[in-house]
A and B are shown apart, each in its own frame.
Chain A
Amino acid sequence: MTQDILKVEDLKAYYQMNYFGIEREVRAVDDITMTVRKNEVYGIAGESSSGKTSFIKVLAAAIRPPFRVINGSVKYDFNGKPIDITTASEAEIEAIRWKHLSYIMQGSMSVLNPVRRIGRTFEDFAARPLGLSGRAFRERVVTHLAKLKLSPNVLNAYPHELSGGMRQRVTIGLATVCHPEFIIADEPTTALDVVVQKEVLQLIRDIQKEMGAAVIFVTHDMSVHANVADRVGIIYAGRLVEEGPTREMFFAPKHPYTAHLVASLPRIGDTSQRPALEGRPPSLADPPQGCRFHPRCPLAVDKCRREVPPLETIGKDHRTACWRWQDVKPLDHVHRANGQEAIA
């Protein structure tokens, strides 16, 4: 039986500001319920200002005012040690951070301290959680780096001496050296070139398999999700709008936004006109009434403008928040033809 490592329930986290008597509320995370299982890669897709980074901040227990959790719980289960991020004390969070819960960050150049050698950075991050020092620590790091195909020499290098791909591998090394059970990867390959991107993705996948860790993989690039994630969740304007197994999400999406994301991917060998989505992502300070996607949705009816669609379960592991999910067709005929064979 697969076990859940993370359970998020009815999570609402808002930025609440009150300057000179003017109150402003940004509903960055609005009513998200989801789970992540052990040993899986869960992909989160969404465009900028959709609230995906805010959501990850909550998961990583990096909640600082004016960002506040309003409602709901975020429960981790690290080998029988349950912890609820929203109520845990600073010391309890400190104890799980890096050892159980770690983070691969986006810009490797701004993550690594430019005036410290990589080896020192490793000591700063990992020496205490591992409880090792001196030679034992160095040996542990070197064996770990070997798995990432990095030579021990990088420990003596400064970040600027390494290439972008190597730096990103170093940050992956930092995040995984303590063998955490849960890793959050925030756009880890966005700044990389195509060839290097593929290598780094492969590496994340391999190391995840080997350690049996759960990974939350955030990127707006659907083609990355296609190749890395086991399940994909789509966030739009602070809400989870669809969630399902990767294959189904690509070949039989049941939310018009997902269908659009998949259909707009250009592919080599196909020059048919790709549709573009009109309009702009809604402001989270003043989201539209009803379904937040309705101003841009080709299927919108009156009901969508008035009532918020709930996230319904419509198949095994497949949930969608759309009143008209039965009418959602994959926009792309090639995909549809391939997909129906594949799913049948």
Chain B
Amino acid sequence: MHLDHTHHGPAAVSADAHRPDGTRRALRIGLGGPVGSGKTATVAALCRALRDELSLAVVTNDIYTREDAEFLLREAVLPPERITAVETGACPHTAIRDDISANLEAVEDLEDEVGPLDLILVESGGDNLTATFSKGLVDAQIFVIDVAGGDDIPRKGGPGVTTADLLVVNKTDLAPYVGSDLARMAADAKAQRAELPVVFQSLRAEPGVTDVAAWVRGRLTAWAA
């Protein structure tokens, strides 16, 4: 995408890989998924895993509060100036897909104010199975579901499950208690996603977010190449 004909002045348009000053902008990764599946917990764990090796920041899209941003602040996963909350007007999917302007400003302001940044994580407000990020906002997206939300979610599919660059099935530690069949979830996810990767994780025990962090590092390597 290359709509900014001028290459000077502020605000490159959308997915332009370079900032107005010609430097490469940060890689942007979106995290979406249903309410309560563990998006914020995954963001927090990623920040802890990556903050010593990367310059990173987070944008949250809370539906009606600053709760997700405040959780990250309370957990002190990053300094407060590296966490921005975007207000979404009761429609979190609109802010990440149909009208991404507020989120684009948030990521650009973060790069201006605390940059240079290697990575910006954009967390969607909890939404439904059809919510996906615009390619104008993020370079890759992670869809987070959990075993307690029903082991039929991978079979049901939907744009998030089917097309996300990484599918994370969270809270595997709960599977025995909620009667979820992890092997079935894995087989259904494989059927929906073919070669696209799937990670099963529990943040309650080792190795926690390790696999997702490794995937993020791989995307960063490809982005910087």
A binds B: no
* Chain A residues within 8 Å of B, Cβ to Cβ: none
* Chain B residues within 8 Å of A, Cβ to Cβ: none
